[in-house]
């Protein structure tokens, strides 16, 4: 970013407090993180570390189903070639010099009050840690020690969703359409025309995957001896301002007078189609 003529560029703010929002997809983490960012007090908690070690790119829809190996499910997903047209690595990302990317993320994710935030999904957590260990000062550190060394005064926020079937249905729809929020940027005609199709196998696979990843997060917190601030999708959707306030309190950030949020930044995507898929899945389970 360049400064206006006659003004000196402001040096980046070094974070003094940090937090990681640890989640699984379609758990309400995006709603929470966008709301936290909108306060201007809680960093900019985005997915800075989602690029996979082998590709330098985020996980593609088909990569959610490597273990399933179902041609029928893969047929219902966008082709990799469609995604690869717009795929771009972050200019700061390098497998061999990940420290540059970490420094860029810390700069971008820190607000002027010195709070840094980021979001992590379990699906790429191990790749992230492996890349971090490539930075000499973190080599040989255990997961918890590494993260504490990288992010000062680190706190964890764990976001989960009680209704895993609805979470899996929501994820399956998003993977087919590539629409992750109703307020997302306009997508291509090809993507918009990609039809959402119910699949028991896909939803069932994602349901078990989401459960495993949540269990993995809980195991991680137990292993490093940390008790995260736990928030549920249902609580975030029902009292967004209250959820944001709890995070600020955990970070010891003074809450401003008046309302924290001017508006709810994202619309909920659940609709009649999602509900019909939920019922279809439950009926299919009962017949098996």
- Residue carrying the six token digits 């029928």: 72
Residue 219 to residue 217: CA distance in whole angstroms: 5
Residues 255 and 245: beta-carbon distance below 8 Å? yes
Residues 224 and 154: beta-carbon distance below 8 Å? no
Residue 238 to residue 58: CA distance in whole angstroms: 30
Whether 47 is catalytic? yes
Strands (E) across the chain are located at 17-23, 115-121, 154-160, 229-232
Q: Cα separations (Å) of 280 from 70, 91, 165, 206, 208?
A: 20, 44, 11, 15, 17
Q: Which of 37, 47, 50, 214 is catalytic?
A: 47
HSE-CB of 20 using CA atoms within 13 angstroms? 27
Residues 121 and 158: beta-carbon distance below 8 Å? no
Residues 118 and 45: beta-carbon distance below 8 Å? yes
Among 102, 165, 98, CA closest to 134: 98
Number of H helices, E strands in the chain: 12, 4
Q: String of b and e for 71-86 (b: at least 16 CB within 10 Å)?
A: eebeebbbeeeebeee
Annotated catalytic residues are: 47
């Amino acid at each position: 970013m360049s400064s206006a003529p006659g003004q000196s560029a402001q040096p980046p703010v070094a974070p003094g407090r940090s937090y990681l929002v640890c989640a699984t997809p379609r758990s309400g983490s995006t709603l929470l993180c966008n709301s936290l960012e909108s306060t201007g007090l809680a960093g900019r908690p985005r997915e800075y570390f989602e690029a996979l070690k082998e590709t330098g790119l985020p996980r593609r829809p088909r990569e959610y189903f490597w273990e399933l190996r179902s041609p029928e499910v893969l047929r219902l997903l966008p082709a990799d070639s469609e995604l690869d047209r717009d795929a771009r690595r972050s200019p700061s990302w390098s497998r061999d010099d990940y420290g540059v990317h970490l420094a860029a993320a810390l700069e971008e994710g820190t607000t002027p009050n010195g709070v840094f935030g980021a979001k992590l999904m379990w699906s790429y957590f191990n790749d992230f840690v492996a890349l971090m260990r490539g930075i000499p000062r973190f080599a040989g550190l255990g997961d918890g020690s590494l993260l504490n060394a990288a992010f000062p005064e680190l706190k964890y926020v764990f976001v989960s969703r009680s209704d895993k079937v609805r979470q899996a249905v929501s994820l399956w729809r998003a993977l087919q359409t590539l629409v992750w929020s109703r307020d997302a940027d306009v997508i291509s005609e090809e993507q918009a025309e990609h039809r959402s199709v119910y699949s028991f196998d896909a939803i069932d696979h994602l349901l078990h995957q989401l459960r495993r990843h949540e269990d993995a997060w809980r195991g991680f917190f137990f292993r490093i001896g940390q008790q995260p601030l736990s928030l549920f999708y249902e609580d975030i959707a029902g009292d967004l301002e209250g959820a944001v306030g709890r995070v600020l309190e955990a970070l010891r950030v003074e809450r401003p007078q008046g309302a924290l949020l001017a508006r709810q930044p994202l619309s909920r995507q659940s609709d009649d189609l999602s509900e019909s898929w939920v019922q279809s899945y439950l009926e299919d389970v009962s017949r098996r």
